A and B are shown apart, each in its own frame.
Chain A
Amino acid sequence: MESKSLKSRYVAPVALPTMGALGKTGAWRVLKPVINYDKCIKCLICWLYCPEGSITVEEERPVIDYEYCKGCGICANECPVKAIEMVREE
Chain B
Amino acid sequence: MSGLIKVFPREEYILKGNASCPGCGAALLLRYVLKTLGPRSIFVIPACCTSVIAGPLPKTAFKIPVMHIAFAASAATASGISEMLELQGKKDVNVVVWAGDGGTVDIGLQALSGAAERGHNVIYICYDNEAYMNTGIQRSGSTPLWAWTTTTPSGNPRPKKNLPFIMHVHKIPYIATGSPAYPNDLISKLRKAKKIKGFKYIHLHTPCPPGWRFDSAKSIEVARLAVLTGAWILYEIENGVFRLTGPSRKLLDKKQRKPVEEYLKLQGRFRHLTQEQIEEIQRLIDEEWEHIKSLEGEKL
Determine whether the beta carbon of B16 is less than 8 Å from that of A20. yes
Q: Which of B8, B17, B22, B221 contacts A22 (CB 8 A)?
A: B17
Interface of A: prevailing SS: loop
**Does B284 have its Cβ within 8 Å of any Cβ on chain A?**
no
Determine whether the beta carbon of B31 is less than 8 Å from that of A53. yes
Determine whether the beta carbon of B56 is less than 8 Å from that of A48. no
- CB-nearest residue of chain B relative to A10? B58
What is the minimal beta-carbon distance from B187 to any residue of chain A, in angstroms? 11
Which 8 A/B pairs are nearest by Cβ-Cβ distance? A21-B55, A73-B217, A20-B17, A72-B22, A72-B23, A15-B60, A18-B59, A70-B22
**Does A24 have its Cβ within 8 Å of any Cβ on chain B?**
yes
14 A-B pairs within 8 Å (CB atoms) are namely A14-B57, A15-B57, A16-B59, A17-B15, A21-B17, A21-B55, A21-B56, A22-B17, A22-B18, A48-B4, A51-B20, A51-B24, A52-B27, A57-B10
Give A residues with C-beta under 8 Å from B: 13-25, 28, 43-45, 47-54, 56-57, 65, 67-68, 70-74, 76-78, 86
List of B residues within 8 angstroms of A23 by Cβ: 17
List of B residues within 8 angstroms of A22 by Cβ: 17-19, 55-56
Determine whether the beta carbon of B61 is less than 8 Å from that of A18. yes
Binary interface profile of B, 136-161, with partner A (CB < 8 Å = 1, else 0)?
Answer: 00000000000000000000000000
Determine whether the beta carbon of B23 is less than 8 Å from that of A73. yes
**A51 in contact with B23 given A44-B5, A74-B219 (CB within 8 Å):** yes
How far, in whole Å, are A24 and B220 apart by their CA atoms in the complex? 25
**A74 in contact with B55 given A22-B17, A25-B17, A54-B16 (CB within 8 Å):** no
Determine whether the beta carbon of B183 is less than 8 Å from that of A48. yes
List of B residues within 8 angstroms of A18 by Cβ: 15, 55, 59-61
How far, in whole Å, are A23 and B18 apart by their CA atoms in the complex? 8
How far, in whole Å, are A83 and B14 apart by their CA atoms in the complex? 27
- CB-nearest residue of chain A relative to B181? A49
- CB-nearest residue of chain B relative to A31? B217
List of B residues within 8 angstroms of A53 by Cβ: 12, 14-16, 31
Determine whether the beta carbon of A17 is less than 8 Å from that of B60. yes
Give B residues with C-beta under 8 Å from A: 1-2, 4-5, 8, 10, 12, 14-25, 27-28, 31, 54-63, 180, 183, 209, 215-221
**A77 in contact with B220 given A15-B59, A43-B5, A48-B5 (CB within 8 Å):** yes
* 14 additional A-B residue pairs with CB within 8 Å, beyond A16-B60, A20-B15, A43-B2: A15-B57, A16-B58, A21-B55, A22-B56, A44-B5, A51-B31, A53-B14, A57-B10, A65-B16, A72-B23, A73-B23, A73-B217, A74-B23, A76-B217
What is the minimal beta-carbon distance from A32 to any residue of chain B, in angstroms? 12
List of B residues within 8 angstroms of A68 by Cβ: 16-17
**A21 in contact with B60 given A48-B1, A51-B27, A73-B23 (CB within 8 Å):** yes
List of B residues within 8 angstroms of A19 by Cβ: 15-17
List of A residues within 8 angstroms of B16 by Cβ: 19-20, 25, 52-54, 65, 68
- CB-nearest residue of chain B relative to A15? B60
Determine whether the beta carbon of B63 is less than 8 Å from that of A15. no
Determine whether the beta carbon of A43 is less than 8 Å from that of B62. no
What is the minimal beta-carbon distance from A59 to any residue of chain B, in angstroms? 13
**A13 in contact with B61 given A71-B22, A74-B220, A77-B218 (CB within 8 Å):** no
- CB-nearest residue of chain A relative to B217? A73
What is the minimal beta-carbon distance from A23 to any residue of chain B, in angstroms? 7
